[in-house]
Chain A
Amino acid sequence: MSIITLQLGQCGNQIGGQLFQTLVDDIYAKPTQTQISPTSNQEYKEQALETFFRFSPGITDAESEQLKARAVMVDMEQKVITQTCSDARKSKKWMYADGQQYYQKRGSGNNWAHGFCVHGPGCDEKVMELIQREAEKCDNLGGFLSLMSLAGGTGSGVGAHITQSLRDEFPHSFIVNQVVWPYNTGEVIVQNYNAVLTLSHLYQTADAIVLMENDHLHKICTQLMNVKKVSFRDINKVICHKLASVLQPLTNSSSPNRQNHLGEMLEDLVPHPNYKLLTVKNIPQMSDRSLQFSTFQWPGLLKHLRQMLIADAAMEEGINWDVRLGEETPRGSVKHNRSVSNMLVLRGKDIQTVNVSDFQEPQLYVPWVPPSIGLSVWRNSRTFNMYEKSAALVTNSKSPVYHLNYITEKAWNMFSSRAYVHQYTKHGLAEEDFVDSFAAMEQIISNYNKL
């Protein structure tokens, strides 16, 4: 199976570069650190490479073969793409294929309408051609992973447009959009507009939307990774660690022949068309230095992870342990974070002995999803990214609703006084489009509130 990564906008390209680097680092980890037999390590390597890279003959004779990322890079400015490409080349392990980049001279200026209505249609044909070219090089096209931000203009605006075209071009393929949620105290004044417009459009076309919230990621960086001055690079590392821990090869624990193809995962995670928002929680996460002095036990890890799920905590520190299953408010709604579906990923030592029954309790799930459908467990005994034991949980639960509400409200407040709207309408976006998007968001919020 192969996944084509679409790197959209500045944020998308930076994350993309980091994602491939993380994957390669994990794939080419020293065999002594993998804790599995050389043959299974080889299998793991082949499968992971097949998913994200292709081999192509090198230009000079010295390089016999080169790893090229199955990626299409799109930005309206050249700077970031060039930077990402050269970073990749410097790693000597992989690179981007020439000609799979699309850029223009001028950015979208954080204006969603500029990206969606102007740049989007302008670059559509060319970008689709690049994607098609990449798709033809896959034996089994598992789907698309689009990386983008919600706040900016290019990633969100052009990204939303490209996702629509992608759906038209590949009606049966799986499309997952990974979006980076802006800081609540955001740097861009119209970020809430952009986020509302993007999410409402993506919700119609994408199969799943993976949310990465900058606020949470920032906290992880400062509290868990002990980074003093958090840069986007640090945040991107955390994002990519989360993504890779889910996307690297896994086998299903109930039927060992199933592997974590994108389609298989989506089938388990987003079966209901109204619920498409996914969040990734993972444990443990710490700086390389403290990692060397730490040991973990599976029961402890899973206990934390489970509490992170029900108390909706983004990281293992500062979890509210008071939240328990089964506590209901007088009006019948539940206090804990209920899920439509969960995907539990276990990697590392002794995973065969792990007891996952805590995640199978019916109370964790909405009444109309039996736990046997709601939970899927995937394993791989290879150590992941230097962690001897690690667990990740992809959850389709109520947890995004707080942020959704927050940005929708803020955007609506701005929209009711028509602030900055003229900047959008001048690029061809009508006020009705805004209203439609708000309506769509309200619908999503109300759906998630019902969980």
Chain B
Amino acid sequence: MSQVREAITLLSQVLHENGTALVKPETFRQAKFNNNEAVEPLWELLFELLYFCEYHAIDEVVVKAKAQLTTEELAVYVKQEMQKRGFLSRDFLHLPLDMNTGSRELLLALAWLLCKESVIEKFMLKCTSPLDEDKIAVQTEECESPTPKFDKSVFMSKKMSPSQRVQQLQVLNGKLRLSLRRIHGLQLENSSLQHRVHTSTCGVPLSPDKGHLSVMETYMIRHPEVAKRVLELLEQDNLRLQHMLAWRQDEPIFWKWMESVLEIKMKEAPSADLEDYGIPLYFNLDPDTVEKMDDARSQLEEAIFKYETIIEQIEELWETRRSAITQQELDNLLVSINMEISLQRANLMLDNTENMLNRLPSPRCHFQYMGQPVKKSDSTPSRNLPSLQTLSPGSSMGHPVDIESEIERLEQQLDTLENRVHRTQDIYHHRLENLATEIPDSICIQQTLCR
């Protein structure tokens, strides 16, 4: 139990170090027992993590947004985002928006998000050495200035004739073009200055794969106090990384614990109402699609039920026949079954791909050729196919097939056909020899095996 506590503490620490608000380990424990006190912090944590997944940073925007959004807006946003990412738990989606109950669901959602989006890995990737980047991050911080604000109302509200509007757009367009050119110039300056730093620090490498100092390194050599600050930042990063590594090790404990959470949930609500599906919230599906999907689903179920009995029968048959069969018969049977299966499969595939691959041999000649081994009086494969198709309602569209597997399959088919040829050849050889022995004074000259 103490291990679990440690793992959770570590997790909350890692999250906090990477910018989220501090969530106490106790909150996680409370959430396991669906305690309502844990609801709000978990909503907020989810919001922050979702924001991180979307924009790769947790910055002051989140803090501002958290303060400005109402609880309802926040909850709706979180639900929407989770659903977008594929978390379709109905219990979660039906959580009340007032953030009063449902901490366990939130905990599960949180764990799902951590796992699905590999949030911790993303945190790790963010901790990189600033020295590698040839940018002076320290300075850009200082240079940030508020972007000049244009009075939007002046732009939009005024009633202007279309020609004036065009002129205005031309002005804005011209401004953009000139800005772009200016940025281009600055880019050139940046690279030329960088080049100069590199050439003038040539021969004093700090890292083995470079022959010069990066701009940042040079800057820090000139400004030791900045170097100190960077060192501090690096140490902080290091600590964070260490925590994340530790988390990596303790992760299984956490997931075990999460399993226990899931178990509790199952115990408390053993039979979730399967009928109470409804349309998933926050998806802009039109009802037609839902209906169609339901239809397809029921068709699939029917098909499964239908063929289940057949399969059972076949299995029974198989058991009874197996005991009363000789080795020879078994071999023959096996070969023919294999062949039949592969041909059926080929047939099926061809039918599926023929829409796309017009150059394949026409289905008719193919069917003629394989009518023989099936040896059923009237059920030719071509007639079988439609019934097969009912199995999967979507298959009438035809699926694209991997060409490699197609080639492999055709080769298999070739092999089996060759085998058959050989066997029939052998049989006729024997027959010929038998006949030859019956005819006196004759010599049988066998045809050489031709390949």
A residues lining the B interface (CB < 8 Å):
139-142, 172-174, 207, 254-257, 261, 263-264, 266-267, 270-274, 340, 366-373
Q: Contact check: which of B145, B188, B193 meets A257 at CB < 8 Å?
A: B145
Q: Contact check: which of A263, A266, A368 meets B165 at CB < 8 Å?
A: A368
Check if B181 is an interface residue, CB within 8 A of chain A: yes
Q: Contact check: which of B148, B171, B193 meets A139 at CB < 8 Å?
A: B193
Q: Which chain A positions have C-beta within 8 A of B423?
A: none
- Min distance, Cβ B187 to any Cβ of chain A, angstroms: 10
Check if B167 is an interface residue, CB within 8 A of chain A: yes
Q: Which residue of A lies closest to B164 (CB)?
A: A368
Q: How far is the CA of A274 from the CA of B167 in the complex (A)?
A: 10
Q: Which residue of A lies closest to B172 (CB)?
A: A271
**Interface footprint category on B:** 20 to 34
A-B contact pairs, 12 of them (CB 8 A): A139-B189, A139-B192, A140-B186, A173-B185, A174-B181, A271-B171, A271-B175, A274-B170, A340-B171, A367-B160, A368-B168, A373-B150
B145 touches A267 (CB 8 A): no
A373 touches B171 (CB 8 A): yes
B155 touches A266 (CB 8 A): no
- Min distance, Cβ B366 to any Cβ of chain A, angstroms: 62
- Min distance, Cβ A344 to any Cβ of chain B, angstroms: 16
Question: What does the 1/0 interface line of B139-183 toward A look like (CB < 8 Å)?
Answer: 000010111101100110010100011011011101100110110
Q: How far is the CA of A263 from the CA of B182 in the complex (A)?
A: 6
Q: Which residue of A lies closest to B183 (CB)?
A: A263
Check if B184 is an interface residue, CB within 8 A of chain A: yes
B171 touches A272 (CB 8 A): yes
B171 touches A367 (CB 8 A): no
- Min distance, Cβ B140 to any Cβ of chain A, angstroms: 12
Q: Which chain A positions have C-beta within 8 A of B174?
A: 270-273
Q: Which chain A positions have C-beta within 8 A of B146?
A: 255
Q: Which chain B positions have C-beta within 8 A of A366?
A: 167
B171 touches A267 (CB 8 A): no
Q: Which chain A positions have C-beta within 8 A of B167?
A: 272, 366, 368
Q: Which chain B positions have C-beta within 8 A of A172?
A: 181, 184-185
Q: How far is the CA of A257 from the CA of B147 in the complex (A)?
A: 11
- Min distance, Cβ B324 to any Cβ of chain A, angstroms: 89
Interface residues of B in 178-206 (CB under 8 A from A): 178-179, 181-182, 184-186, 188-189, 192-193, 196
Q: How far is the CA of A255 from the CA of B146 in the complex (A)?
A: 8
With contact pairs A173-B185, A267-B175, A368-B164 given, residues A273 and B170 touching in the complex (Cβ less than 8 Å): yes
Q: Which residue of B lies closest to A340 (CB)?
A: B171
20 more contacts with CB within 8 A, not counting A142-B185, A370-B158, are A139-B189, A139-B192, A139-B196, A140-B185, A172-B181, A254-B148, A255-B146, A255-B147, A270-B174, A270-B178, A271-B171, A273-B174, A274-B170, A366-B167, A368-B165, A370-B150, A370-B151, A371-B154, A372-B151, A373-B150
Q: How far is the CA of A271 from the CA of B146 in the complex (A)?
A: 22
Q: How far is the CA of A270 from the CA of B182 in the complex (A)?
A: 14
B155 touches A370 (CB 8 A): yes
Q: Which residue of A lies closest to B166 (CB)?
A: A368
Q: Contact check: which of B147, B151, B171, B178 meets A369 at CB < 8 Å?
A: B171
A255 touches B168 (CB 8 A): no
Where chain A touches its partner, the secondary structure class is loop
- Min distance, Cβ A47 to any Cβ of chain B, angstroms: 15
With contact pairs A142-B185, A256-B145 given, residues A368 and B160 touching in the complex (Cβ less than 8 Å): yes
5 nearest A-B residue pairs (beta carbon): A140-B189, A263-B182, A370-B154, A271-B174, A368-B168
Q: How far is the CA of A255 from the CA of B160 in the complex (A)?
A: 29
Q: How far is the CA of A340 from the CA of B168 in the complex (A)?
A: 10
Q: Which of B150, B151, B175 has the most chain A CB within a 10 Å cutoff?
A: B175
A263 touches B178 (CB 8 A): yes
Q: Which chain B positions have C-beta within 8 A of A367?
A: 158, 160, 164
- Min distance, Cβ A361 to any Cβ of chain B, angstroms: 13
Q: Which residue of A lies closest to B145 (CB)?
A: A257
With contact pairs A255-B145, A267-B175, A267-B179 given, residues A372 and B150 touching in the complex (Cβ less than 8 Å): yes
Q: How far is the CA of A395 from the CA of B267 in the complex (A)?
A: 79
- Min distance, Cβ A88 to any Cβ of chain B, angstroms: 28
Q: Which chain B positions have C-beta within 8 A of A263?
A: 178, 181-182, 185
A369 touches B179 (CB 8 A): no
A257 touches B143 (CB 8 A): yes
Q: Contact check: which of A139, A261, A270, A369 meets B168 at CB < 8 Å?
A: A369
- Min distance, Cβ B427 to any Cβ of chain A, angstroms: 83
Q: How far is the CA of A173 from the CA of B188 in the complex (A)?
A: 11
- Min distance, Cβ A138 to any Cβ of chain B, angstroms: 9
Q: How far is the CA of A174 from the CA of B184 in the complex (A)?
A: 11
Q: How far is the CA of A369 from the CA of B193 in the complex (A)?
A: 38
Q: How far is the CA of A369 from the CA of B186 in the complex (A)?
A: 28
Q: Which chain B positions have C-beta within 8 A of A257?
A: 143, 145
- Min distance, Cβ B161 to any Cβ of chain A, angstroms: 9
Q: Which of A254, A263, A366, A368 has the most chain B CB within a 10 Å cutoff?
A: A368
Q: Which chain A positions have C-beta within 8 A of B184?
A: 172
Interface residues of B in 282-330 (CB under 8 A from A): none
A368 touches B182 (CB 8 A): no
A266 touches B178 (CB 8 A): yes
Q: How far is the CA of A174 from the CA of B181 in the complex (A)?
A: 8
Q: Which residue of A lies closest to B167 (CB)?
A: A368
- Min distance, Cβ B74 to any Cβ of chain A, angstroms: 34
Q: Which chain B positions have C-beta within 8 A of A267?
A: 175, 178-179, 182
- Min distance, Cβ B191 to any Cβ of chain A, angstroms: 10
Q: How far is the CA of A431 from the CA of B248 in the complex (A)?
A: 82
Q: Which chain B positions have C-beta within 8 A of A264?
A: 182
Q: Which chain A positions have C-beta within 8 A of B170?
A: 272-274
- Min distance, Cβ A143 to any Cβ of chain B, angstroms: 8
Interface residues of B in 106-141 (CB under 8 A from A): none
Q: Which chain B positions have C-beta within 8 A of A373?
A: 150, 171, 175
Q: How far is the CA of A369 from the CA of B160 in the complex (A)?
A: 11
Q: Which chain A positions have C-beta within 8 A of B168?
A: 368-369
B154 touches A372 (CB 8 A): yes
- Min distance, Cβ A360 to any Cβ of chain B, angstroms: 11
Q: How far is the CA of A272 from the CA of B173 in the complex (A)?
A: 8
- Min distance, Cβ A347 to any Cβ of chain B, angstroms: 22
Q: Which of A254, A264, A372 has the most chain B CB within a 10 Å cutoff?
A: A372
- Min distance, Cβ A1 to any Cβ of chain B, angstroms: 8
With contact pairs A140-B186, A172-B181, A263-B178 given, residues A368 and B171 touching in the complex (Cβ less than 8 Å): yes
Q: Which chain B positions have C-beta within 8 A of A140?
A: 185-186, 188-189, 192
- Min distance, Cβ B357 to any Cβ of chain A, angstroms: 49
Q: Which chain B positions have C-beta within 8 A of A273?
A: 170, 174
Q: How far is the CA of A370 from the CA of B188 in the complex (A)?
A: 33
Q: How far is the CA of A274 from the CA of B189 in the complex (A)?
A: 30
Q: Which chain B positions have C-beta within 8 A of A174?
A: 178, 181-182
Q: Which residue of B lies closest to A171 (CB)?
A: B181
Q: Which residue of B lies closest to A274 (CB)?
A: B170
